[in-house]
């Protein structure tokens, strides 16, 4: 850790970070990175800490004096402002961000992504503290290409689908398609942060993640989360593979996504933390444009990789089609395609993702198998016995 310098060759001084949502998927990886590779301190705020327990205990861990957990619901806790004041930088990750919630808990989704983030922005602005806020790639909504005729050659032209922070429009579906309420709440908080920067000098960075995936993402239903819960696609498909069930393709699995390995993405966040002069005032796409697949292709690749890491043969029928209405309920809608433009993050931070989709699935599914295979076997044999 000694002699660490930033991108301009200046020594990096240790700082204190108030990380809200530190107990989630991204937060747990960011805490791990900050503890193992930097001298910074973390005030970790969340309602849960299961995913960072290994960083909090035992007290003999070398970083024990650099991480503190505060069990706080930011909706209604007066301790929040004090923690933001104690820190040099606040990172806000807290949100409801699972598509199954957007059309079933639309009010919680809007409150969580807009209203609950307001005091965080206000306290940072009033106390002259820097803020890194987590938004989403969903703020771009659908691509322009999605509205062209199916056979239009323009659909192949990147000008009609690549998503650029400073140029692409934000195209949402109608009000009853409530995925866009999430996107809209995220967009409005981005605009508010931008306005605080413009009018009151708030130092901010906005991150737009494009499908970050890896170990500890969400939960496996019935094992470390509710049996009826629907997590994001990595955990849904992992659960199906672990239980030897066909993977469910929503509306034919035709939507396209670019997936990035969480560890690559965390490198980008660390560069933002440690290079404020290059990151302040910017909105950054963080994704891997080289890892694009349809959801159907993702299912096929995960099936192959899982077979390799578990040594189990694949099912004869590895996937089945389900309608979005059946899977998510009324009012679901989808993003058609998400390719991040990398110009701004490349220019400001010199960052590029490294890990291929196959490699990231191999390490992630090895983790899933090691962590859950035995527990699933036991849970399934109990159900059969009953």
Ligand X SMILES: NC(=O)c1ccc[n+]([C@@H]2O[C@H](COP(=O)([O-])OP(=O)(O)OC[C@H]3O[C@@H](n4cnc5c(N)ncnc54)[C@H](O)[C@@H]3O)[C@@H](O)[C@H]2O)c1
Bridge-based pairing state of the strands 247-250 and 319-322: parallel
Shortest spacing between CB 60 and ligand X, in angstroms: 26
Nearer to ligand X, 137 or 298 (CB): 137
User: What token pair was written down for 172?
Assistant: 């949402």
Which partner from the list ligand UDX, ligand X, none does 204 bind, CB cut-off 5 to 8 Å by kind? none
Q: Does residue 73 belong to the site contacting ligand X (CB under 6 A)?
A: yes
Shortest spacing between CB 59 and ligand UDX, in angstroms: 34
Binding site for ligand UDX (CB under 6 A): 97, 99, 136-138, 211, 232-233, 236, 248-250, 253, 255, 257, 295, 334-335
Nearer to ligand UDX, 202 or 295 (CB): 295
Shortest spacing between CB 240 and ligand UDX, in angstroms: 7
Shortest spacing between CB 9 and ligand UDX, in angstroms: 35
Nearer to ligand UDX, 137 or 286 (CB): 137
Shortest spacing between CB 71 and ligand X, in angstroms: 9
Sign of CA dihedral 103, 145, 351, 13: negative
| Residues forming the active site | 182
Nearer to ligand X, 48 or 358 (CB): 48
Q: Does residue 101 belong to the site contacting ligand X (CB under 6 A)?
A: no
- Rule CB under 6 A: choose which of 212, 237, 261, 372 binds ligand X: 212
Shortest spacing between CB 269 and ligand X, in angstroms: 10
Which partner from the list ligand UDX, ligand X, none does 99 bind, CB cut-off 5 to 8 Å by kind? ligand UDX
Nearer to ligand UDX, 189 or 249 (CB): 249
Nearer to ligand UDX, 93 or 273 (CB): 93
Site string for ligand X, 124-163 (x = CB under 6 A): ----------x-xx--------------------------
Q: Which stretch binds ligand X (CB under 6 A): 159-167, 208-216, 246-254, 356-364?
A: 208-216
Q: What residues make contact with ligand X under the rule CB under 6 A?
A: 21, 23-27, 46-48, 73-75, 93-95, 97, 112, 116, 134, 136-137, 209, 211-212
């Amino acid at each position: 850790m000694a002699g660490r310098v930033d991108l301009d060759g200046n020594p990096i001084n240790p700082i204190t970070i108030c990380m809200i949502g530190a107990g989630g998927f991204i937060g747990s990886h960011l805490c791990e990175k900050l503890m193992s590779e930097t001298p910074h301190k973390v005030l970790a705020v969340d309602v849960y800490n299961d995913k960072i327990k290994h960083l909090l205990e035992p007290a003999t861990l070398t970083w024990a004096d650099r991480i503190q957990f505060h069990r706080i619901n930011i909706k209604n806790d007066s301790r929040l402002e004090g923690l933001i004041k104690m820190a040099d930088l606040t990172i806000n990750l807290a949100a409801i961000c699972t598509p199954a919630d957007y059309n079933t808990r639309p009010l919680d989704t809007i409150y969580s992504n807009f209203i609950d983030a307001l005091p965080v922005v206000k306290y940072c602005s009033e106390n002259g503290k820097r803020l890194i806020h987590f938004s989403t790639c969903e703020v771009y909504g659908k691509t322009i290409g999605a509205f062209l005729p199916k056979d239009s050659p323009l659909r192949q032209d990147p000008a009609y689908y690549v998503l650029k922070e400073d140029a692409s429009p934000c195209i949402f579906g109608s009000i009853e398609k409530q995925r866009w309420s999430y996107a809209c709440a995220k967009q409005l908080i981005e605009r508010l942060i931008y306005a605080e920067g413009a009018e009151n000098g708030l130092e901010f960075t906005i991150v737009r993640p494009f499908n970050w995936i890896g170990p500890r993402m969400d939960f496996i239903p019935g094992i470390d989360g509710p049996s009826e819960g629907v997590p994001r696609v990595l955990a849904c498909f992992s659960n199906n593979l672990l239980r030897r069930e066909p993977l469910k393709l929503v509306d034919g699995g035709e939507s396209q996504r670019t997936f990035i390995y969480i560890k690559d993405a965390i490198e980008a966040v660390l560069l933002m933390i440690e290079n404020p002069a290059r990151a302040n005032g910017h909105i950054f796409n963080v994704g891997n444009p080289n890892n694009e697949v349809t959801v159907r292709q993702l299912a096929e690749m995960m099936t192959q990789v899982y077979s390799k890491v578990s040594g189990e043969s694949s099912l004869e029928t590895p996937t089945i089609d389900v309608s979005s209405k059946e899977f998510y309920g009324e009012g679901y809608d989808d993003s058609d395609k998400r390719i991040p433009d990398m110009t701004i993050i490349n220019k400001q931070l010199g960052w590029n993702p490294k890990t291929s989709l196959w490699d990231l699935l191999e390490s992630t599914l090895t983790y899933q198998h090691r962590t859950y295979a035995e527990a699933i076997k036991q849970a399934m044999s109990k159900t059969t016995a009953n």
